[in-house]
A and B are shown apart, each in its own frame.
Chain A
Amino acid sequence: MTVEGELTDDVEGDTVDGDAAGGDATEDDAASDAATGDLWAGVRDVSPLMLGIVPFALVAGIAAVDAGLGLAEAVGMSVIVFAGASQLAALDLLGSNAPLAVVVGTAVVINVRMVMYSASIAPYFAEYGRRLRAGLAYVLTDQAYAISVAEFEENSARSRWRYYLGAAASLWVVWQIGTVVGVVVGAGVPDAWGLTFAVPLVFLALLVPAMKDRPTTAAGVAAGAVAVVAAGLPLNLGLLVGAVTGIAVGLATEVVEA
């Protein structure tokens, strides 16, 4: 648990740096209350997603033990990589003594989607200082990205970095604690319960409102269909092929409609 404390401090260090870099030095007490409200709004909005994250994090810890990793290595991976799907893939390959290049290559390909999130969320962060942006990037995940962009589109009055950090840092803390519990406690919940099914359900709950007009719906339908057909491709490439197809179909639908 000492590890936890130190790491949480680290994230809070980023926040303080960010405050200066974000150009918020002039805000008064009332504004700072509102700002805290934005942070808590992020924490609150992300909390239902934890139902999917907790079992996922436990599995990451359990898989680390199965692959022969110790507690320090398991936590090291969750802190340094902090991306569940790639961690599970890397652990599986490490456990079967695959060549290092295959382990790293597989995990890296799985995480290429982060470039799309980075591009999509970047315009919302463009006004912030370099150090704050560097800190915000570290905690960028599927979930933090999806709920933040949904909120930014609906509510422009938010302090975006505070809302995002509230959500992203909560996910980070739960991910680390879940990993530790998974390593220490091990496989307590039987596989048959399929608790990790909560992960696609979370994304489904975010997907449906994201398909709000004809082009975005076309993008989602095309991406999903292609991803299902391409699910057999190695290195999780089906995800990328599906997503890129969906973006192209969305753009094409927009052109046809115009």
Chain B
Amino acid sequence: MTGAPLGTGSPRVWVAILLIGIATYGFRLSFIHLFGRIDEVPARVKRPLRYVPPAVLAALVLPDLVTLRPSVAATLLDERLIAGAVAGVVAWRTENVFATIAVGMGVLWLFRFVVFA
């Protein structure tokens, strides 16, 4: 844990890259490969898959917007949560990715550099 920089061309780095890359490709290929080999995807497999998009997206997004702190006020008065809430309304009303990003970043900067500064 010295934090010493690694030399370029260190085999350790390439071994890590290759192992991570192989495992990740295996994950990506897993069901895409499997479902191509069977005729019909069984209903009991398909049913839970309907919930993968909302569940995974929410689990990716929410921890980036909310950090639990000792007090409710400290948890809620967070520029990321405020920006995320406003952006969420924009996403709901417009279903436009660009508008969501633009408003979300704008509100984040407003609170970070002006309101909470």
Stretch at the interface among A1-9, A10-18, A25-33, A108-116: A108-116
Number of chain A residues close to chain B: CB under 8 A: 101
Task: Encode B21-35 as 1/0 by CB contact (under 8 A) with A.
Answer: 101110111111111
**Chain B count of residues within 8 A CB distance of the other chain:** 77
Q: How far is the CA of A211 from the CA of B54 in the complex (A)?
A: 6
Is B27 touching A112 in the complex (CB atoms < 8 A)?
yes
Q: Does B105 interact with chain A (Cβ within 8 Å)?
A: yes
B34 and chain A: residue at smallest CB distance: A122
Interface secondary structure of B, over-half rule: helix
Give chain B residues whose Cβ lies under 8 Å from the Cβ of A173.
Answer: none
A220 & B91 in contact (Cβ 8 Å cutoff): no
Cα(A77)–Cα(B10), bound, Å: 13
A204 & B59 in contact (Cβ 8 Å cutoff): no
Alpha-carbon distance between A59 and B32 when the two chains are bound, in angstroms: 30
Q: How far is the CB of A211 from chain B (nearest CB, A)?
A: 5
The answer to the question of B72 belonging to the interface, with a C-beta cut-off of 8 Å to chain A, is no
Q: Which 9 A-B pairs have the closest CB atoms?
A: A246-B55, A250-B51, A242-B59, A224-B62, A80-B21, A68-B5, A70-B8, A224-B58, A122-B35
Query: A-side interface residues toward B, CB under 8 Å?
Result: 48-49, 51-52, 67-70, 72-73, 76-77, 80-83, 86, 90, 94-98, 100, 103-104, 107-108, 111-123, 125-126, 128, 130, 133-134, 136-138, 140, 142, 146, 149-150, 192-195, 197-211, 215-217, 219-229, 231, 238-240, 242-247, 250-251, 254
